[in-house]
Structure 1
């Protein structure tokens, strides 16, 4: 478990809150492990019928904690980040996102695996992987173009474009945008409605909607190999060094 991942329950609704406010809710491997545990438990639970992911404070998540990732994988077997991605991809029950502020990197790509995505008006979404010497992850090289179109996806993945909440709604990344102060209340109401629906019909419907997504697993596997290689390469090392020294990276 992680003190930075808070799990609460209200009736049949589970809420997973990313709570590392002092670090802009940046995610560590320990936090990914806790989120994977929560998603796996939710998938197996007969009592829980909807799960909401949100962030504490005014940030959804700044993405990966780069210093934590720079230390390298200290575990054997499947790294916690991949456990989390597999768990959110394969969850048979509804996963709902309440994007309460900036969602960077995996703060956007995890949304591609959520069933219902809502945002506060101050939310922004970006995937600056190339600027960090990294490559797309979580199947985003496949799912983001499918969601927003190739031109916009390239603008985001290659040129580093960040979308406002309104743009994200217009391009179909989020279903609805609410005033910040109303976001969680609105999402909780939606989640209660989802949780009150017929559970077997809900699972079957989610399965039908996701038909034809077999290529996602292949995309994620290909991305993960390249992502892991880049983590050990000179471009990512330069990105981390430049960030620590508060300068622009020099890739030569």
Structure 2
């Protein structure tokens, strides 16, 4: 069986993490989160790894959580694979770059808020449908998105959950550049290689200075979101949203206060 997460390390020190589950639009399972978390831990201690690069496969970046897997084994406790991954990416000392093409849904978008450089294809579509699923934001996106994009735009994306394109993501400030789909991965890899050629200590200290005291805020917000998320996952609104998703119909939230 082909792994759902592929990792490969180039001679120049770029570790590439590839979402490799195209049949499910690269939706993430608990096992995939664990693989990525472990990859980050290894990268942290491996001097040969100088930069981490995320990419999708077959024209899709990541469709968010695999809801079927998510409901079978909802995350419980700080050691759940999803929380291991979020801690790892949010505290990564080495540069993290992303090449985004196609859909980037839920965590597929919020993980980008923890990347240092994000390059999007002109085909990219982002969405944060947490409220539509009866849930709340995660990955500290309720803190980071208003800080990056401003409250009005963040509110529009997090409250309504409607999809938006790469140019809108660029205007919001969490995408560095929009490129033709055929060029985005090569460009992101070239940028990652540029970083890999620079002094690791300079990059590490510069990143730490930019993140600064916000790191504590991010951890605190992730914990707060996780508490709400866990409760809401078991609530009637989420059950109706997930049931409607699997039945391919619109959910009816009018029955709830």
Task: Please report how far the alpha carbon of residue 159 of structure 1 lies from its aligned counterpart in structure 2 after TM superposition.
Answer: 1.4
Q: Deviations over 1:199-244 (max 9, x none)?
A: 1111000001101302111111000011111112211111111111
Task: Please report how far the alpha carbon of residue 68 of structure 1 lies from its aligned counterpart in structure 2 after TM superposition.
Answer: 1.0
- The SS at the match of 1:136 is coil
Query: In 2, distance between residues paired with 1:7 and 1:72?
Result: 25
Q: Deviations over 1:187-209 (max 9, x none)?
A: 11111100000011110000011
Query: In 1, distance between residues paired with 2:106 and 2:236?
Result: 20
- The SS at the match of 2:182 is helix
Task: Please report how far the alpha carbon of residue 124 of structure 1 lies from its aligned counterpart in structure 2 after TM superposition.
Answer: 1.3
* 1:202-213 correspondence runs (5 A): 202-213=203-214
Task: Please report how far the alpha carbon of residue 77 of structure 1 lies from its aligned counterpart in structure 2 after TM superposition.
Answer: 6.0
Q: What is the match of residue 104 of structure 1?
A: 105
CA contact under 8 A between 2:121 and 2:181: conserved in structure 1? yes
Query: In 2, distance between residues paired with 1:167 and 1:246?
Result: 28
* 1:1-252 correspondence runs (5 A): 3-11=3-11, 12-73=13-74, 78-213=79-214, 214-251=216-253, 252=255
CA contact under 8 A between 2:78 and 2:84: conserved in structure 1? no
Q: Which TM-score applies when normalising by structure 2? A: 0.94
Query: In 1, distance between residues paired with 2:161 and 2:78?
Result: 32
Task: Please report how far the alpha carbon of residue 118 of structure 1 lies from its aligned counterpart in structure 2 after TM superposition.
Answer: 0.7
CA contact under 8 A between 1:70 and 1:237: conserved in structure 2? no
Task: Please report how far the alpha carbon of residue 170 of structure 1 lies from its aligned counterpart in structure 2 after TM superposition.
Answer: 1.6
Q: Which TM-score applies when normalising by structure 1? A: 0.96
Task: Please report how far the alpha carbon of residue 182 of structure 1 lies from its aligned counterpart in structure 2 after TM superposition.
Answer: 0.6
Q: 1:180 to 1:72 in 2, by over 3 A?
A: same
Query: In 1, distance between residues paired with 2:77 and 2:156?
Result: 36
Counting matched residue pairs gives 251
| Structure 1: 5+ residue stretches without partners | none
Query: In 1, distance between residues paired with 2:77 and 2:173?
Result: 38
CA contact under 8 A between 2:53 and 2:98: conserved in structure 1? yes
| Structure 2: 5+ residue stretches without partners | none
Q: 1:218 to 1:74 in 2, by over 3 A?
A: closer
